[in-house]
Amino acid sequence: MFVTFGKSPLRAKRMSGAMASLTGGEGYELSYLLDNYDWASLNASKATIVDVGGSIGFVCIDLAKRYPDLKFVVQDLPKTIDSAPKLEGDLAQRITFQAHDFFSPQPVKNADVYLFRWIFHNHSDKYASKILSALIPSMKKGARVLINDHCLRDGFGEESMWDEKIIRTMDLVMLTLLNATERSERQYKTLFENTHKDLKFAGVKRIEGCRMSIVEAVWEGEDYGGA
């Protein structure tokens, strides 16, 4: 679907506008991600964060403005990277844009965090596992995978009726358009386990007022990153 839209400038523009409207809408504001994860400790260790499928870098730009010692690599397909803003000053020194297909082996080794926002719900388990597997040859022990996406409740009644409707509707949309799915905590844990025994599920953070959760896994296997 995304490849098809990319071939038509008009469709691509419409799609971009629709996504901007959705991702900036109530319950999806970027501030929830920025305010509810321990970026400060990563900043203290001068961490490197790779935003995989990070579009034109708006997540990393906002993080960089808050945390002066973080470094970033924003990855997306070539046409998207070509449209990224030209940064200046300190931001240009700390944010790198890189063309990359996330089904291919990850070129950035030894990063501290590999971030995926609005990525995994576009893919079935088969392809989601391929995305994760592509990271492993580049990961150092202790590296984190952060997924910022919907996380379904295993039962009903834990979300408001309105939020439940929106998230479940999105699940059906993903199935219809992409043969994909929104996942529950249990399904994310299974996805990590089935990808590699050393990719350990570390939990889900649900944020009041936000429809998206922060799903985390940690690589506890061999330190491939320095190889």
CA distance linking residue 129 with residue 15, whole number of Å = 26
Report in angstroms the alpha-carbon separations of 83 from 61, 119, 157: 15, 19, 42
List, as one string, the DSSP characters of 148-173. Answer: EE-EE-SSSSSS-HHHHHHHHHHHHH
Do residues 107 and 73 lie in contact, with contact meaning Cβ atoms separated by under 8 Å?
no
Q: In what order do the strands lie in the sheet with 95-99?
A: 95-99, 71-76, 48-52, 113-117, 144-149, 213-219, 199-206
Token pair of 135 as six digits: 């990271």
Report in angstroms the alpha-carbon separations of 32 from 23, 63, 151: 12, 12, 15
Catalytic, 123? Answer: no
CA distance linking residue 30 with residue 37, whole number of Å = 12
Torsion over CA: 135, 150, 71, 219 (sign): negative
Instruction: Pick the catalytic residue from 100, 121, 123, 150.
Output: 121
Token pair of 47 as six digits: 């961490």
The residues carrying an active-site annotation are 121
